[in-house]
Amino acid sequence: MTRFALTIEFDGSPFQGLQRQKHGPSVQQSIEEAIARVCQEEAILHSAGRTDSGVHALAMRSHVDIEKDIAPFRLMEAINANLRPDPIAITACEVVSDDWHARFSCIGRSYVYRIVNRRAPVTLARDRVWQVGHDLDVDAMHRAAQALTGRHDFTTFRSAHCQAHDPVKTLDRLDVERAQTEYGEEIHVHAAARSFLHHQVRSMVGCLKLVGAGTWTENQLAEALAAKDRCKLGLNAPPQGLYFVKAIYPE
């Protein structure tokens, strides 16, 4: 039995999320079925994080245990061939030790949320960004975001369906900046932590958007955090602008 670490890129638009779901297609199901066709065996995909329906990944880290004697490059190529036409790609594959775990060995995770701030319809990046038609004050959003960094009880920014035992998390980074992309200027919200609560990033971005629009003051965001009450959440951003960027492991 060999443990392979996979780096996965995917467009989450057609999926009900990364993990297997009873009510629709998932990234995990597509990859496991591709491996079954390649190796004629069942393998379970374990991943560094979970993603909701419509959320994307630039470099999700996962692992599978496979009995078949196969080189990492051949496995990667064969899985990719069998994933077509699903918008999923294995971009790296390597052998790792049996005690390496994509989820439990991970010591850091980062996300980016993309906002297109314009009135004209989004065409090329549709389903990959959140379009906000009115002007947003990026500097105010960034200043307000700093109240959320550090160790806090993030109950306000936690989904009612979150399964985490503890709402206390340490947010290492929450930065808001303007970024030039191939689609033009966007607003990017960067978030990094050891782990996140369900919907935490989307909920934080939604409230930052209210600050940028002038609907909330910067102090109101801090007050929402202190309330530790989901009912005090102003807005949950839609999933299509969210990307899992990176999983970090000990050297």
Mean predicted confidence (pLDDT) in 82-110: 97
The predicted pLDDT at position 78 comes to 98
Looking at the DSSP bridge assignments, the partners of residue 95 are: 4
The predicted pLDDT at position 210 comes to 98
The predicted pLDDT at position 251 comes to 81
Pairing relationship of beta strands 184-193 and 88-96 according to DSSP bridges: unpaired
Please, what is the average pLDDT of the chain? Answer: 95
Band of residue 161 on the pLDDT scale cut at 50, 70, 90: confident
CB 43 within 8 A of CB 35: yes
The predicted pLDDT at position 77 comes to 98
The predicted pLDDT at position 107 comes to 97
Q: Which CATH code for domain 2-96?
A: 3.30.70.580
- H or E, element range at 93: strand 88-96
| pLDDT at residue 40 is higher than 80 | yes
| pLDDT at residue 23 is higher than 90 | no
Q: Among 4-8, 16-20, 59-63, which is the least confidently predicted range?
A: 16-20
In degrees and rounded to multiples of 5, residue 176 shows phi and psi of -120, 130
Query: 141 by DSSP, 3-state: which?
Result: helix
Assigned token pair, 49: 């994080």
Band of residue 245 on the pLDDT scale cut at 50, 70, 90: very high
The predicted pLDDT at position 130 comes to 97
| pLDDT at residue 163 is higher than 80 | no
Q: Among 51-55, 145-149, 161-165, 195-199, which is the least confidently predicted range?
A: 161-165
Q: Which CATH code for domain 108-248?
A: 3.30.70.660
| pLDDT at residue 182 is higher than 90 | no
- pTM of the predicted model as reported, rounded to 2 decimal places: 0.95
Q: Where are the domains of the chain?
A: 2-96, 108-248
Given the residues 52, 86, 135, 153, select the one marked as catalytic.
52
> Over the stretch 107-127, which tens digit does the pLDDT of each residue have?
999 999 999 999 999 999 989
Percent of the chain's residues with pLDDT above 70: 100
Query: 23 by DSSP, 3-state: which?
Result: coil
Topology agreement, domain 2-96 and domain 108-248: yes
| pLDDT at residue 80 is higher than 90 | yes
User: Catalytic residue at 52?
Assistant: yes
| pLDDT at residue 164 is higher than 90 | no
